[in-house]
Chains A and B, each alone.
Chain A
Amino acid sequence: MFSKILIANRGEIALRVVEACREMEIATVAVHSTADRESLHVLHADENVCIGPPMLKDSYLDISSLIAATEITGADAVHPGYGLLAENPHFAEIVEDCGLGWIGPRPETIRLMGDKAKARETARAAGAPVLPGSEGPLESPGAARDTANEVGFPVILKATAGGGGRGMRVVSTADDLEIQYLSAQSEASAAFGDDTLYLEKYLPAPRHVEVQVLGDRVGSLIHLGERECSIQRRHQKLLEESPAIGLTAELRGRLTSSALAVATAVGYENAGTVEFLLDGDDYYFLEMNTRIQVEHPVTEIVTAVDLVKEQIRIASGELLGPLQSREPRGHAIECRINAEHPRTFAPSPGRLTTFQVPGGPGVRIDTHAYAGYLFPPFYDSLLAKVIAFGADRPEAVDRMRRALDLFVIEGVETTLPLHRAILRDPEFLAGRLSTAFLERFLKNH
């Protein structure tokens, strides 16, 4: 087992890793920019190293600073969290080349699934349903046009180096295609340094359902049920739950089997998520995320598995052993509370003058913030994750409403009012969810 883990991340996930390490009695090193000196995970970690000024590229994305920090502290493993360098295969390789444990899947898996067109082909070859679309990357706007005509409009152009909802363009008619193709290329080049695109049929209002998988070094792979993540704004998830509502046992069985087939095809190790779009009883592979995800708590609660501890165990060579594939028991919902104006979503950094965190039965709060904390303006706006759970969805909803009502945050604007309203929305309560939900909701409120 590792003796000291360096957490190459910040914010709430860094604290989450510190928590897991505390339970396992593994020493922790928090790296931080000058803007994050007072972050809770820095205060609680055993050691901390300032690695640069606030900007990400000079601190959390600076691989040489991160490796230097492992050297001066004697850390023997790195947990990359989510975002930042978590899915950077180059960083994973360097960590391993330096003789450190990488707490995540193998670098070649990260590289393969990070190419979204290759990931799609891998899923197809593994027998998972994929959306009609291009086989591999597009050679030219002409090729895009041919594929789009075969598949039928509307289509969506996506960056192969993208993912997470970035670098995408919906194209409704053939006339728009060339312009959107060039525009998507330009954005992809700027954002990812790679302008390669692929194409899929566009579903206007699918559900986004993903399956959590966990694999060890000797090829054991299990699933830990699915999560519904359809409530999104500009492809950023705002609210997630497990299980997904209204899935028949048969559909759940097919979904989880497809997820395991994709994971098996790449010999997946450690924690990962296979994302699908659901359209009625049909589902299609979207992409695979080779990291722990923001919404992992809802799975942890309904399957009683500590995913971060499992990540650490697996990375240190332990086997899955007695853990079996699990389907969710009970129901959990997570609301991502951002430091943003609840209507305009304008970022709202500042000092938290009040931060009263709710507790009580069936409530879990994951946050790196506290009263007096100066929420910095340089990073993403996730302030806290409120997770509520119960024996069934109605109980989870009641508890979430109570938790959101009793969560008092002053000093910054937050999206608490938005979530309070969603938790009273009839469509939400009826479980009529799709990726079109939030747009409709915002229009009506």
Chain B
Amino acid sequence: MKELLELVASRNLGGVEVRGPDFKYRVKGRKVVPAPAPAAFPAFEAAAAALPAESEEESDPEPEGYILTSSIVGTFYIAPSPDADPYVQAGDRVEKGQVLCIVEAMKLMNEIESDVAGIVLEVLPQNAQPVEFGEPLFSIKTD
């Protein structure tokens, strides 16, 4: 239980649900928006900013709108369970704080909440796809 609480706090999650054959725990967290880090190496950052931009590789067109990315590593699930309806699909209106998906790791189902209110443009990963930190999950047209 303590580890669950630490996980929620440390990962800045909205909540976590753990299910076993005969139990279910749910922990709600309070998301904290981190303050921007002070520039530890201003000269370095200025030099980095002055460098020519990396050239874009040929790839799929950039998704539009606000991109919600994963804050954890795990497996992406669009629905709470295999038979349930998806949390959201393209075209749905979502509110800030609304659960959009699950990223599962170490048997913990981490609910990912929306940072913004708006309309879901696209669900980016496939269901059951592994995702890494920073992986784009949803593009949302904000209000």
Which residues of A line the B interface, CB within 8 A? 34, 49-53, 59, 62, 64-65, 67-69, 71-73, 98, 347, 349-351, 374, 377
Task: Let me know if A72 and B75 touch, CB within 8 A.
Answer: yes
Q: How close is A8's CB to chain B, nearest CB, in angstroms?
A: 13
Q: A51-B73, A68-B74, A68-B106 are in contact. Are A351 and B48 (CB under 8 A)?
A: yes
Which chain B residues lie closer than 8 Å to A69 at the CB level?
73, 132
Task: Give Cα A98–Cα B105 distance, bound, in whole angstroms.
Answer: 12
Please give the distance in Å from B141's CB to the nearest CB on chain A. Answer: 26
Q: Quick one: given A53-B133, A68-B72, are A351 and B106 in contact (CB under 8 Å)?
A: no
Please state if B130 and A64 are interface contacts (CB–CB under 8 Å). no
B11-53: which have CB < 8 Å to A?
A: 11, 40-41, 44, 47-48, 51
Q: Which residues of B contact A50 (CB under 8 A)?
A: 73, 132-135
Q: Are A49 and B73 in contact (CB under 8 A)?
A: yes
Interface residues contributed by chain B, number (CB under 8 Å): 21
Say yes or no: A64 contacts B11, CB within 8 Å: yes
What are 14 pairs between A and B in contact, CB < 8 Å?
A34-B134, A49-B73, A50-B134, A64-B7, A64-B11, A64-B105, A65-B72, A68-B106, A69-B73, A71-B105, A72-B73, A72-B130, A349-B41, A351-B48
CA distance A69 to B133 in the complex (A): 10
- Report the separation of the CA atoms of residues A52 and B48 in the bound assembly, to the nearest whole angstrom: 21
CB distance from B27 to the nearest CB of A (A): 14
> Measured between C-beta atoms, what is the minimum distance from A288 to chain B in Å?
30
Chain A residues within an 8 Å CB radius of B72: 64-65, 68
Is the Cβ of B47 less than 8 Å from the Cβ of A350?
yes
* A-contacting residues, B62-98, CB 8 Å: 72-75
Q: Which B residues touch A64, using CB under 8 A?
A: 7, 11, 72, 105-106
Across the two chains, which residue of chain A brings its CB closest to B73? A68
CB-based contact A72/B41 at 8 Å: no
Query: What's the Cα separation between A213 and B40 when bound, in Å?
Result: 40
Contact yes or no, B47 A351, CB < 8 A: yes
Q: Which of A59, A71, A374 contacts B106 (CB 8 A)?
A: A71
Residues in chain B near residue A71, CB distance under 8 A: 74-75, 105-106
For the complex of A and B, the 3 pairs showing the least CB-CB separation, nearest first, are A72-B130, A68-B105, A68-B73
Q: Which residues of A contact B51 (CB under 8 A)?
A: 351
Expressed in whole angstroms, the minimum distance between the Cβ of A365 and any Cβ of chain B is: 25
Q: Indicate if the CB atoms of A65 and B75 lie closer than 8 Å.
A: no
Tell me whether A72 and B74 are in contact (CB under 8 A).
yes
Chain A residues closer than 8 Å to B134, beta-carbon distance:
34, 50
Residues in B whose Cβ lies below 8 Å from that of A73: 130
Bound-complex Cα distance A34 to B71 (A): 12
Q: Which residues of B contact A34 (CB under 8 A)?
A: 133-134
Q: Which residue, of B11, B130, B132, has the highest number of chain A Cβ atoms within 10 A?
A: B132
The answer for the CA separation of A73 and B106 in the assembled complex, in Å, is: 13
Docked complex Cα distance between A385 and B134 (Å)? 32
Residues of A contacting B41 with CB < 8 Å?
347, 349, 377
Q: How far is the CB of B134 from chain A (nearest CB, A)?
A: 5
A34 to B37, CA, bound (A): 15
B48 and A67 contacting across the interface, CB-CB below 8 Å: no
Expressed in whole angstroms, the Cα–Cα distance for A64 and B133 within the complex equals 12
Query: Which listed residue, A59, A62, A377, touches B40 by the CB 8 Å rule?
Result: A377
Separation of A98 and B134 alpha carbons in the complex (Å): 25
Alpha-carbon distance between A51 and B132 when the two chains are bound, in angstroms: 6
Output the least CB separation between A348 and chain B (Å): 9
Measured CB to CB, the nearest residue on chain A to B76 is: A72
The reply to whether B105 and A51 contact each other, CB–CB distance below 8 Å, is no
What's the nearest-Cβ distance from chain B to residue A37, in Å? 10
